[in-house]
Amino acid sequence: MPELPEVEIIRRDFEREIVGRKIKSVEADGMRSIRRHHNRKQFANRLVGKKFSGVERRGKYLLCRLDDGDVLVVHLGMSGQLVRAKSAREATKKHTHVVITLTQGGQLRFVDPRTFGEMFVTELDTVEKEVAELAHLGIDPLDEPMSWEIFGRMFTAHRQKLKALLMDQRLIAGIGNIYSDEILFAAGLRGDRTGESLSAQEVRRLYRGMIEVLQDAVKHRGSTLADEQYVDLFGQAGGYQAFHQVYAREGEACRRCRKVIVRHRYGNRSTFSCPACQV
Ligand SMILES: [Zn+2]
């Protein structure tokens, strides 16, 4: 599932490639990806003839601004891809659900095999009403620099486990299952430690680990796992998975201490850690 680094890369690509372009036509193959709209025509009517005027990221959501004040909200869900085709003749991938054709040529395509992702158009002011998560979104660790003291107060006030706190969108926006595991390894902390158990030194390590992992992940253009679902706007896979220390490395040797990386259950997902490097 795309997390903050992947969505941030798509935002940057979108800003360079798509902002300033005008929408000529819109096609959707059904209602699944545009389920907040009444019908396909109503979705298309809110886009056709408008120009993209900017793009921002809130947590894992992309807000593509239109020149009339509306905004096209894109959430990639589990498996969504937002890709730019240079021309309409370029082969269409399977599971392409929405195609936005631009007047200067080229298309923006929304591909989503598992269909948990979505797109919808709304007024900027109503985005938070539409998506409850955005109304209560926590601090963005890349966009809103905070001191490690503030970060520490946020964490040490909670009895929940660190893994859950890192993934709580109301505290910190944009972190999911992959990056929480990598951040915890970088900090040398177990995910089942509680927030209130952290010492000042551990808070600093966790804070530094979070910033370093997220910045590195953006630098290497995100993580594309074995399922190859995440790609950037140009359809290219990310490179950060080669730098993962624990995530999806069960049974392999820890790069720091050579002990074997283990997998645990976490809700209905898996979490990975080194039994020696994380305390
Ligand atoms: Zn280790």
Question: Mean pLDDT, the chain, as a whole number?
Answer: 96
In the predicted structure, residue 228 carries a pLDDT above the cut 80: no
* pLDDT score recorded for residue 269: 86
* pLDDT score recorded for residue 105: 85
Round to whole Å and give the CA distance between 244 and 19.
32
In the predicted structure, residue 219 carries a pLDDT above the cut 80: yes
> What's the 223 CA to ligand 1 centre distance in angstroms?
21
For range 266-277, the mean pLDDT: 93
Round to whole Å and give the CA distance between 198 and 172.
17
For range 48-52, the mean pLDDT: 98
> What's the 261 CA to ligand 1 centre distance in angstroms?
7
Q: What are the tens digits of pLDDT across the range 109-123?
A: 999 999 999 999 999
> What's the 237 CA to ligand 1 centre distance in angstroms?
27
For range 241-263, the mean pLDDT: 97
Predicted TM-score (pTM) of the model is: 0.96
* pLDDT score recorded for residue 246: 98
* pLDDT score recorded for residue 66: 98
Round to whole Å and give the CA distance between 67 and 217.
32
What residues are annotated to the active site?
Answer: 2-3, 60, 269
Task: Place 145 in a pLDDT band, splitting at 50, 70 and 90.
Answer: confident
Q: What are the tens digits of pLDDT across the range 11-37?
A: 999 999 999 999 999 999 999 999 999
H helical segments located in 4-64 = 4-17, 40-45
> What's the 163 CA to ligand 1 centre distance in angstroms?
18
> What's the 256 CA to ligand 1 centre distance in angstroms?
5
For range 122-147, the mean pLDDT: 93
> What's the 191 CA to ligand 1 centre distance in angstroms?
14
**Which residues have C-beta under 5 Å from ligand 1, the single-atom ion?**
254, 256-257, 274, 276-277
In the predicted structure, residue 157 carries a pLDDT above the cut 80: yes
* pLDDT score recorded for residue 17: 96
**Sequence letter at residue 22:** K
Give the angle subtended at the CA of 178 by the CAs of 176 and 254, to the nearest 5°: 150
> What's the 188 CA to ligand 1 centre distance in angstroms?
9
Nearest partner of 244 among 167, 182, 169, judged by Cα: 182
Give the angle subtended at the CA of 134 by the CAs of 185 and 145, to the nearest 5°: 50
Q: What are the tens digits of pLDDT across the range 164-181?
A: 999 999 999 999 999 999
Q: What are the tens digits of pLDDT across the range 68-102?
A: 999 999 999 999 999 999 999 999 999 999 999 99
